[in-house]
Structure 1
C-alpha cells in the first residue's frame, strides 16, 4: 500500500473549551491575592472596566442581604440546587455587575474602593502615606546586618560577589540553604574559594550564622566560646541520641561520666539553634478568610462571603458608547468589541465565582455542623463527591473552589480543605469517624500522660480507641503519631523520667 498525503473532511462532536470558559475555571482556584492581582491587570488592559463605587451605591439603596442561614435540619437542599446555575461555566454577556441581589450574592462581591484616595491615602488623612511609612521604626533584617559587616570585611571584588550570593542564600533562621558546589558552578569559581568566603561569613555576628545544619551552627558557637573539645565534638556527632534521651549511649560515645554529660547537655541548651531569629523579617501577611460563619438564632449558622476579598467591577457603558461611536477603522471597531466582550465575561465570571464559593461553603457548614457546635471530636468524614452531589456540581469544580480558600468560624480560621477528611470505620458498624477527630483523640491520650506508668504504647492506644468504637490499626496510630511529631512511648518514658 502506497503512502501519500491527502485531505479529508470529517464530521464529529467534541467539547471545546473557549477562552471565556478557561477564564471562569481559572478564577475559581485563585486565592485572594492572586485574584486581586489578576483584576488589577485586567483594569489596566481593558479601558471599559472600572471598579464599582460602593459609597454611591450605599447612598442610593440599602445593601442587599448576602448570606443564608444554614443548619443540618433546616437547610433547603432543593432550593440550593434550584438556585445553582446548572452549568457553572456558562455565562451571559448581558450581565453588567458582579452583584446580583436575586441570587443573594449582591453585597458579597464588594471590595474596598480606593478611588477617592489621593496621594494622602484614604479619606480623613491629609498627609503623605509614603512619608509616614518611612518614619516608622523597622527592625534590621539578618541580611542587612550581614551586608553591613561585609562592607568592612576587606574582601576583594570576587570574594565580595561570592559573599553576596551566600548571604542571599541564608534564610531567616540563619542557615545556608544552598550547596557550595552549586554556587561555585554558577559563578564559575573554585569550590575552595567559596568555602573560604563562607568561613569569613561564619565569623560574622550573630555567631553560628550561615551554618549548613544544626550541628555546624552549635559547633561555631562552641568554638567562639573556646568550648569545642573532643567530648563536645562527639556529642554533636550524636545529636539523634540526645533527641531520644539515650544518656547511656551518649556517655559511651563521649567517654564521660554522668555528671560531665549533664553539664555538656546544659551547655548545649544555652546555645542558639536559630541565630537569625533575633532579627527582623518581612511582615507575615495574615490570612484573609473568603467566608465568615457566625452562629445565629435557633442554632442556625449564618454563612456570608467576605466582601473585602471580592472585587466589584462594572462595564462603563457610557465610555463604550463614546469610543464605539468614534471608531472609524475595522481594527478599532474590533478592539472595542473585544474589550466589551471580555469585560462582560469577567464581570459575569466574578459573580459566578462568588455564588459558587457561597454554595460550596454553605454545604460544608451543613455537613460539619457538629464540629462547629461541639468541637473537633465531632468532625465528620467528608469528601469532594459528597459536597458535589449535594449541590449539583462536578467534583473538579468543588476541588477548585476549596483550593486556597479559608473559612472564619467561631472555632478559628480553617482552610476549606481542612473539612475534607478520610473516614475510619466504627467497630460496631455505626457511623464512621473522621481521621482528624481520631488524631485529636490520640493527642488527648498522650497529653494526659503524667508519669512513666501512664505512658501508652501504640498497641495500648489501639485498644483504647477500639473500646471507644474506633476500628484502627497499629500502623495507622503510629503514622498519625509521627505526623503530629509525637515521640514513641520509649522516648516519652525517658522524657518523663528526666523531668522527675
Structure 2
C-alpha cells in the first residue's frame, strides 16, 4: 500500500449547536430578573427590537378535584412577523440533551442527582412559621466597616493611629472579630507591634462594643467592661465559657466562688451580651427574592398559575422602522444585515414565548403533584423527582431541571424555589406509598419543640413517636434529619434547656 496524501469523501451525521439553540438553552435557566437584563442587552444589539406594552396575562389553570385532571396551556400571542416557515411549531421548548454537551453551555446537570436529593430549608424562602420573610433577606443598611470608620475621626486626632485602625477595620469579619493575628499585621505594615496593639485598642473602643475581639471570651469581656460588670467572678466565668456551654454549673460555682443565686445572676447577664456584634450591620447589600410564578386559589377548588409579568418585559419587532430601513437598503450587504437582524429578532421573541409556555407547564404539573402542600402545608409534601414531572408532561428531565433553576413561586404560604418541591421519599409505616423528607423533618421539629424540659426525647423515642404518626424510619435516619434542621442531640438539648431555665 502506497503512502502519500489523498482525498477521501465521507458522509457523517452530527448535531451542531447553533447559536439559536445555545440561546434557547440559556434562556430556560434564567430567572425573570435575569431575562430582563438579557432583554436590555438584546435591545441595544438589535435595532429592530422594541419594548412593547405589558405582556398579556399568560396563565395556566389547574383543576385538582376528583379527577385530578390537567388542562392544556392556553396559546399565548406571538408577534405576527414570526412566520415564513421558522418556528411555526408552538410547543413548549424541550431540548433533549442526550446528544448534547449540556453541561458545557449552562453548567446544569441532567437532574439525576436531584432525584435522591434532599432540598431543605436553604432553598426555601417562606413567610410565617415556615421560614423568614422576604423582607428579612434584604439589607440596605450601612456596613460594619462604614459604621466604624465614621467614628475614627472623633475617636483620635493622631492620623497615624487612625490609619492603623482603619486597616484593622478592613480585617474584621462580618461578626466583628479580627480575622488576622496582630503580629502579622505589624509585619505587613512594617510597624512596631505596640503601635498595632494601640490601633486595636482604639478599634475596641468603638461602637458596637465587642468589635475587634480576637476570641469569643474577649468579645464578651469587652462588653462586660463596658457595663462595669467585669469583676473577678465574671472574669473567671468568661474564661470558662466551655463549662457554660456544657452546663457544668457545679464546677462553675467552685471556680467563680459564688452561690446558686449569684451564678444565676451572672449567667442571666452573660446571656444579654452579643457574641457577634458585627451582625447588627449590613454586609453586602442583598437583593430581595422576586417570584417568577404566581399561584392563587380559585373558588372552584383549582389553581390559577401565571408568570409574574411585572418582571417580564415584552419584546416586539418595530415594523415601521423595519419598513423604513428596508426601503433604504439598496446594496446586498445592507439587505443581508437587515434580514439577519429580523431573523434574530423573530427567533428571540419565539424563544421567549416558548420559555413562558415551558415554565407554566412545569409549574402546573408541580402544583398538581403537590396539591396537598398548597392546601395543608409541609406535612402534605409528597416525594417528587424531576423524572416523574418530565415523564408526565412529555419532556426531558434536564429541561425540567433548567426550568426549575433560579425560579421562585409565590403562593399563600410564602415564596419557594421550585426545586424545594423535589424531595426524596421515606417509606410509610403502613407500607403503602411514601412521604416527603420535608414532611418528616417538620414532624421531628414539631415533636422536639413540644418536648418537656424534664423529659427530653431521645432519637429512639422519636423513632417510636414518628412510627405512630405513620413514618417508618431508622434511628440513624432520624438523627440525620434532626441534625439537618439544626437540632442538637438529647444531651445537648437537655443542657440548653437547663441553661435557659437558669435565671
Shorter-normalised TM range: 0.7 to 0.9
- In structure 2, the residue matched to 1:484 is 485
- In structure 2, the residue matched to 1:110 is none
- In structure 2, the residue matched to 1:417 is 419
Distance 1:328 1:252 in 2: 98
**What pairs with 1:116-127 in structure 2 (closer than 5 Å)?**
none
Q: 1:72 to 1:328 in 2, by over 3 A?
A: same
C-alpha deviation, 1:10, in angstroms = 4.8
- Answer whether contact 1:289 1:306 (CA < 8 A) is retained: yes
C-alpha deviation, 1:149, in angstroms = 1.9
| TM-score (ref. length: structure 2) | 0.75
- Answer whether contact 1:92 1:345 (CA < 8 A) is retained: no
**What pairs with 1:418-497 in structure 2 (closer than 5 Å)?**
418-453=420-455, 455-497=456-498
Distance 2:483 2:176 in 1: 27
Alpha-carbon deviations, 1:92-126, whole Å to 9, x = none? 98269xxx9x989xxxxxxxxxxxxxxxxxxxxxx
- In structure 1, the residue matched to 2:96 is none
- Answer whether contact 1:405 1:416 (CA < 8 A) is retained: yes
Q: 1:239 to 1:389 in 2, by over 3 A?
A: farther
C-alpha deviation, 1:139, in angstroms = 6.7
- In structure 1, the residue matched to 2:293 is 291
C-alpha deviation, 1:348, in angstroms = 1.6
Q: 1:9 to 1:326 in 2, by over 3 A?
A: same
Alpha-carbon deviations, 1:366-389, whole Å to 9, x = none? 001112222221111111111111
Alpha-carbon deviations, 1:308-344, whole Å to 9, x = none? 1222111212212323443466654454344333322
For structure 2, the 5+ residue unaligned runs are 93-139
Between 1:67-76 and 1:463-472, the stretch displaced more is 67-76
Partner of 1:299, secondary structure, is coil
- Answer whether contact 2:63 2:301 (CA < 8 A) is retained: no
- In structure 1, the residue matched to 2:111 is none
- In structure 1, the residue matched to 2:40 is 40
- In structure 1, the residue matched to 2:62 is 69
**What pairs with 1:19-168 in structure 2 (closer than 5 Å)?**
19-54=19-54, 66-71=59-64, 73-74=66-67, 76-77=69-70, 79=72, 94=82, 141-152=143-154, 153-156=156-159, 163-164=165-166, 166-168=168-170
C-alpha deviation, 1:278, in angstroms = 5.2
| TM-score (ref. length: structure 1) | 0.76
Partner of 1:67, secondary structure, is strand
C-alpha deviation, 1:473, in angstroms = 1.3
- In structure 1, the residue matched to 2:311 is 309
Distance 1:242 1:95 in 2: 74
- Answer whether contact 1:175 1:209 (CA < 8 A) is retained: yes
Distance 2:324 2:420 in 1: 50
Q: 1:48 to 1:458 in 2, by over 3 A?
A: same
Distance 2:431 2:450 in 1: 29
Distance 1:181 1:342 in 2: 59
Distance 2:5 2:232 in 1: 79
For structure 1, the 5+ residue unaligned runs are 58-62, 85-90, 105-137
Distance 2:435 2:445 in 1: 16
- Answer whether contact 1:235 1:250 (CA < 8 A) is retained: yes
- Answer whether contact 2:172 2:212 (CA < 8 A) is retained: yes
**What pairs with 1:224-263 in structure 2 (closer than 5 Å)?**
224-225=226-227, 227-228=229-230, 232-251=234-253, 257-263=259-265
- In structure 2, the residue matched to 1:13 is 13
- In structure 2, the residue matched to 1:318 is 320
- Answer whether contact 1:376 1:437 (CA < 8 A) is retained: yes
Partner of 1:71, secondary structure, is coil
Partner of 1:407, secondary structure, is strand
Alpha-carbon deviations, 1:191-210, whole Å to 9, x = none? 95766644432222221124
Distance 2:268 2:463 in 1: 37
**What pairs with 1:343-354 in structure 2 (closer than 5 Å)?**
343-354=345-356
- Answer whether contact 2:62 2:368 (CA < 8 A) is retained: no
- Answer whether contact 2:57 2:306 (CA < 8 A) is retained: no
- In structure 1, the residue matched to 2:115 is none
Q: 1:64 to 1:448 in 2, by over 3 A?
A: closer
Distance 1:187 1:337 in 2: 61
Distance 2:184 2:355 in 1: 45
C-alpha deviation, 1:489, in angstroms = 1.8
- In structure 2, the residue matched to 1:133 is none
Q: 1:148 to 1:83 in 2, by over 3 A?
A: closer
Q: 1:363 to 1:179 in 2, by over 3 A?
A: farther
Between Structure 1 and Structure 2, how many residues are aligned? 446
